[in-house]
Amino acid sequence: MLNKIEIYDTTLRDGSQGAGISFSIEEKLFLTQLLNDLGIPYIEGGWPGSNPKDEMYFKKVGEKKKRGELKNSQVFAFSSTRRKGVKTSEDFFLSKMIESNADGFCVFGKTWDRQATEALGVSLSENLNIIKESISFLKEKTQKPVFFDCEHFFDGYKSNKSYSMDVLKTALKAGADRIILCDTNGGTFSHECQDIIQELKKLSFPLSKFGFHGHNDGGMALSNSITSVRSGLGHIQGTINGIGERCGNTDLVSVISNLQLKMKVHCIPPDKVNRLFSTSKKVWELTHGEGSQNQPFVGENSFAHKGGIHVSALQKSPEFYEHIRPESIGNRRHILISELSGQSNIINTFGDKYPELKDKSKVKSVLHAIQDVEKEGLSYEGAYASLELFIRSILGYKDSIMEKNYLKISDLDFGKRKMSEASLNLNFRGNKTMTVSLGVGPVDALSKALRKALGPFYPEIEKLKLTDYHVKIIDGHCGTMAKVRVSIQHQFLKEKPFTTIGMSENIIEASWQAFESAFTYFAYLIKK
């Protein structure tokens, strides 16, 4: 096994083939800079000639290179080998590759005999000639690195081992700088991957020049990538978060984390590894998704601990329930408090802040109170602000700043525009105050009415931004009488966002509870 490998990121090309994913030029340039700053050696930028956006992208990348903005990464162009019956010098996509002025080129060709004869419609010998001429043409015209993706390599090996070997030999002889073994269908098991690579080793192929490109249709992409490195391959391709067509590609976040932190195989500069968490989040933001909370290494729950026994053991030694330090990849530990929690969870999370919790009887009181409300379906998990307010109330703190006397939500019809009106009467600081506000819906109207009522007393409230609103049905079998859990996230200036919750059979009442807690917590924050 090598102690250093190359990482080749294809988020911008292969990743964008995932359902619902489409990057603008600006987003592609932003991601290119992001990957460069992470220290990724190779970035596959796109397919010149396949669309105007990718042609403009390479032009913009060239400008960034001239300004010295991409010092860590080489940006590659991707394309197919030449079309059948067309000279390499006249092939549209090969010409566009050269015009892109990319730092290097990655071309894919048929390795599976059936793909050559049935899909491409050429003889096996002609397919070899296409591969040879395409690689040689790019090398001779540009003197830049050329990588060859062996499409469907593992299926091809199983179908016709001898022919797949001929493809590898042809690509090497033509001057390919890297040969990438592609599990295009994502159906190869790790033991098959290992056995096949060992066969290549016996045949004296230079494995350090070989790479692996995996798809995750069988859930084996990460395992096959690690197996490839352990078997001697020096190059791994994949995408950030494993995004891509069908079930996605190899997740480079997990590849880098496992190889560099646990197997001591160098992938990116050591001082960049702690950027993996933030990089993952930014890629999810640009793909309009949140990502799995349980995504290995960088998910919000990757280092979340709920069981009291686990938390107690963590206090003695983190490695009892954490396979790496979460900070090493930029993540952090979360101690969750729920009906399943033990006293250690409460003490670990709030003990330093509230000396009263040194009294074990008070810790038990808090735990029992949490268990009582969770029996009714109200979970404080993921709602730290509401949880702290609840614990403070059990400990005797008086935080509430308002009491609702009257709330009415009305629907208004202004022709094509539908609005809601919230009429709110509160007891606030010993006085009654009433406000009326319009909103684009009942929740918006309620939020604005509350802000209007509190604004004269808390002018800072203008800088409190609502960043998320989420509704979850708790007991769906009750139909429209089901309880709902409303979760609201706010952020004040550059402080960490905080979440509050409410629960009721009435969605407006649940929203009121969440907003009331949010503004109470806000008042508590600015008072500290």
Residue 309: is its pLDDT beyond 70?
Answer: no
In this prediction, residue 334 carries a pLDDT of 61
Closest Cα partner for 449 from 399, 511, 396? 511
User: What digits encode the pLDDT tens for the residues 367-406?
Assistant: 888 777 777 777 777 788 888 888 888 888 888 888 899 9
In this prediction, residue 306 carries a pLDDT of 59
Confidence of residue 518 (pLDDT cuts 50, 70, 90): very high
In this prediction, residue 125 carries a pLDDT of 96
| Residue 292 belongs to some domain of the structure | no
Residue 304: is its pLDDT beyond 90?
Answer: no
User: What digits encode the pLDDT tens for the residues 78-110?
Assistant: 999 999 999 999 999 999 999 999 999 999 999
Confidence of residue 308 (pLDDT cuts 50, 70, 90): low
Q: Report the C-alpha gap between 111 and 115 in whole angstroms.
A: 7
| Residue 278 belongs to some domain of the structure | no
Q: Report the C-alpha gap between 161 and 106 in whole angstroms.
A: 24
Most confident residue range from 25-34, 286-295, 299-308: 25-34
Q: Are residues 58 and 202 in the same domain?
A: yes
The sign of the torsion formed by the CA atoms of 310, 314, 317, 320 equals positive
Closest Cα partner for 147 from 183, 172, 124? 172
Q: Which amino acid is at 161?
A: K
Q: Are residues 385 and 433 in the same domain?
A: no
User: What digits encode the pLDDT tens for the residues 10-56?
Assistant: 999 999 888 888 889 999 999 999 999 999 999 999 999 888 899 99
Closest Cα partner for 183 from 147, 160, 157, 207? 157
Residue 319 burial (C-beta neighbours within 10 Å; 0-12, 13-18, 19+) = exposed
Q: Are residues 370 and 388 in the same domain?
A: yes
In this prediction, residue 336 carries a pLDDT of 59
Transcribe 271-340 into DSSP letters.
GGGGGHHHHHHHHHHHTT----TT-TTTSTTTTEE--HHHHHHHHH-GGGT-SS-GGGGT---EE--STT
Q: Are residues 412 and 377 in the same domain?
A: no
Q: Are residues 163 and 259 in the same domain?
A: yes
Q: Report the C-alpha gap between 424 and 437 in whole angstroms.
A: 9
Q: Which residue range is the domain that position 255 belongs to?
A: 6-268
User: What digits encode the pLDDT tens for the residues 131-180?
Assistant: 999 999 999 999 999 999 999 999 999 999 999 999 999 999 999 999 99
Residue that finishes a domain, picked among 268, 292, 313:
268
| Residue 299 belongs to some domain of the structure | no
- In angstroms, the Cα distances linking 527 to 95, 460, 465 are 65, 11, 18
The mean per-residue pLDDT over the stretch 336-340 comes to 55
Residue that finishes a domain, picked among 392, 426, 456:
392
CB 421 within 8 A of CB 410: yes
Q: Are residues 383 and 424 in the same domain?
A: no
Transcribe 187-229 into DSSP letters.
---HHHHHHHHHHHHHTT--GGGEEEEEB-TTS-HHHHHHHHH
Q: Are residues 441 and 488 in the same domain?
A: yes
User: What digits encode the pLDDT tens for the residues 343-362?
Assistant: 667 777 777 778 888 888 88
In this prediction, residue 313 carries a pLDDT of 58
Which tops the pLDDT comparison, 285 or 77? 77
Q: Which residues contact 506 (CB under 8 A, 6 or more apart)?
A: none
Report phi then psi at 406, rounded to 5.
-160, 135
Q: Are residues 374 and 412 in the same domain?
A: no
User: From the CA atom positions of the chain, what is the Rg in Å?
Assistant: 29
DSSP 236: E
| Residue 75 belongs to some domain of the structure | yes
Q: Are residues 170 and 81 in the same domain?
A: yes
| Residue 294 belongs to some domain of the structure | no
Q: Report the C-alpha gap between 178 and 207 in whole angstroms.
A: 10
Q: Are residues 216 and 308 in the same domain?
A: no
User: What digits encode the pLDDT tens for the residues 213-256?
Assistant: 999 999 999 999 999 999 999 999 999 999 999 999 999 999 99
Domain containing residue 183: CATH number? 3.20.20.70
| Residue 297 belongs to some domain of the structure | no
| Residue 284 belongs to some domain of the structure | no
3-state class (DSSP) for residue 109: strand
In this prediction, residue 1 carries a pLDDT of 82
Q: Are residues 116 and 42 in the same domain?
A: yes
Residue 333: Cβ within 10 Å count: 17
0.85 exceeded by pTM: no
Residue 421: is its pLDDT beyond 60?
Answer: yes
In this prediction, residue 361 carries a pLDDT of 85
Q: Report the C-alpha gap between 343 and 440 in whole angstroms.
A: 44
| Residue 280 belongs to some domain of the structure | no
Number of domains in the chain: 3
User: What digits encode the pLDDT tens for the residues 468-488?
Assistant: 898 888 776 677 778 888 999
- Average pLDDT value for the chain: 89
User: Any idea what the Cα angle at residue 295 is, between residues 293 and 296, rounded to 5°?
Assistant: 135
Q: Are residues 337 and 244 in the same domain?
A: no
User: What digits encode the pLDDT tens for the residues 247-282?
Assistant: 999 999 999 999 999 999 999 999 999 999 999 999
User: What digits encode the pLDDT tens for the residues 448-469?
Assistant: 999 998 888 889 999 999 998 9
Residue that finishes a domain, picked among 268, 292, 320:
268
**Residue whose structure tokens are 């860590």:** 72
The mean per-residue pLDDT over the stretch 433-446 comes to 91
Domain containing residue 467: CATH number? 3.30.160.270
The pairing of strands 235-238 and 304-305 is unpaired
